[in-house]
A and B are shown apart, each in its own frame.
Chain A
């Protein structure tokens, strides 16, 4: 819309503000709840101003966890989630960029077949293949390990497809010029293709990091040792106390802490992220 009438300006701002409120209010309530005593949240009237219990809640969750509910300290779970999300994000990018490189730049028999097989796995997310995948991981003895947590989630058809599409828009002359300049395939990949794809890599990293961070079902299955609990699992365990009043302040403190890393990743990579999704720098 190119129109710039004051009325439209006000209207668009109202819509935006309403949208922000709808998204942000629950987050705010969660934070407020973490600063009050456990009972404040269930009294019927939601407090809207911070209470005085903030440091106590956060200190307890960060240092000792909540032993009654069987939850380890948040530090440990944040660490596990971080390892899981990072391994998944980096692993997905590394594997898919190499597959896309092979598919776009090399002519080998069954090239398209290979591509379509990768593509078809889009239809088989973890949730669909969960029992066979669990069996494989269990037989390989990878239950309760970082490898078991991450490996089955690393292969990514989406990322391969994205990189393939991007590589196909990179002018072929770039590859030819580097060939004339004496660069072999791997040198071309490292010196030219990788730097040119950096914004795409960043965008994918953000998406994949969050994908890894919010995983719930898979960690729930493969971890029984609380040393390997992820933060999302931890939140679930905090709430799953049927015979007690949930300690809402502790739950919400954990939730607030769990939201921080993805928010930081998005904040720090926002510029690259937007660039990678919108413009192609060639």
Chain B
């Protein structure tokens, strides 16, 4: 158990490619932190730097109170779960779990005890004598987690561990990882590009873009108050609609736009904050044409085009409202649903 502290962490590859551009982050003991961002944002590189698989160009990395910048992965007291599991193909599941312990000079009896315990926790006891290729994707995933678990490390590092699984299994494993982490209270750093995975798993999210931190916060903080247009577009699905303030002003049905921060020029509205029936609170009224109706079971997505503009916009409503494509829809937005942004700098205004 330990905290992880990143101070000004940088990674520069030869040829002046800056993959990670100065990350400051403090992960508390027992916390589950998710690094999330689009591909190429440096999140995997950052994780691999923490693991010791990539060298650190600049900055300080501490696990617990130790500076571990120049330590080998094995000396950092971390365990890693890889995207493609990286199980040793010629070893049985038992030996896959035991290998790290053997290398650390554990006694045979203790290895046996730890492996059994981890296998029980992950319900892979009956596969202990099999080779990895005889296992299904989900079972391999469990073995990969077991290999991390038996070591009882100071921190778990997960590198997109669920992205090779099918959708159903992914949800199941997501829940299991969360429960396991709650039970063990081991500090965890988890990398994913899936915003839903990030929202549901993390105690805190770190949204990365182009090697820099965009925002750090609890999932709901980030969802409720995205600090930049990038975060607003990345977290939440379907993505937040961005409407120019000018457009709303010309349609100006209400003076509730007046108290937006001074340099606001774009307003973000979540698809589920666009109501088809007028709320009690003061609200904007916007007309639009329905272009595409997408029924997704419990909810529907309405792809509309705002009246007198070619602004594409998505509305999410529960159930299936009685609307037809081509129809003119009127929707209502309250003041609380407006997220003010300045599009020139891409940040939230009024912070």
Mark A residues whose CB is within 8 Å of B: 171, 173-174, 176-183, 187, 191-192, 195-196, 198, 281-282
Contact = CB atoms under 8 A, between A and B. Distances in A.
B78 interface: yes
A176 to B, nearest CB: 5
Contact of A180 (B85, B87, B91, B100): B100
B103 A183 contact: yes
A282 B85 CA distance: 12
Contact of A173 (B52, B74, B82): B82
A187 B88 CA distance: 13
Contact of A177 (B72, B82, B90, B104): B82
B73 A174 contact: no
3 closest Cβ pairs, A-B complex: A173-B86, A182-B74, A181-B100
B89 A281 contact: yes
Contact of A282 (B52, B89, B99, B100): B89
Contact of B74 (A174, A181, A281, A282): A181
Nearest to A198: B90
Contact of B73 (A179, A187, A281): A179
B89 A196 contact: yes
A171 B91 CA distance: 16
A97 to B, nearest CB: 16
A174 B88 contact: yes
Given A281-B133, A282-B89, A187 B103 contact: yes
Interface residues of B, number: 25
A66 to B, nearest CB: 49
Contacts, number: 62
A180 B74 contact: yes
Contacts of A282: 89
Contacts of A177: 80, 82, 86-88, 147
Contacts of B88: 174, 177-178, 191-192
Mostly helix, strand, loop or mixed at chain B's interface? Answer: loop
Interface string B67-83: 00000111000111011
Contacts of B90: 192, 195-196, 198
Interface of B: 51-53, 72-74, 78-80, 82-91, 99-100, 103-104, 133, 147
A180 B197 CA distance: 25
Contacts of A171: 84, 86
Contacts of A195: 90-91
B103 A181 contact: yes
A180 B73 contact: yes
Given A176-B53, A177-B82, A180-B51, 6 more contacts: A174-B86, A176-B82, A180-B80, A181-B147, A191-B99, A192-B88
Contact of A179 (B53, B83, B87): B53
B84 A173 contact: yes
Contacts of B72: 179
A179 B100 CA distance: 9
A196 B52 CA distance: 25
20 contacts: A171-B86, A173-B82, A173-B86, A176-B53, A176-B80, A177-B87, A177-B88, A177-B147, A179-B72, A180-B52, A180-B74, A180-B79, A180-B100, A181-B147, A183-B74, A191-B88, A195-B90, A195-B91, A198-B90, A282-B89
Contacts of B86: 171, 173-174, 176-177
B190 to A, nearest CB: 16
Query: Which among A173, A176, A180 has the highest number of chain B CB atoms within 10 Å?
Result: A180
B84 A182 contact: no
Contacts of A176: 51, 53, 73, 80, 82, 86
A281 B89 CA distance: 8
A196 B74 CA distance: 22
A178 B104 CA distance: 12
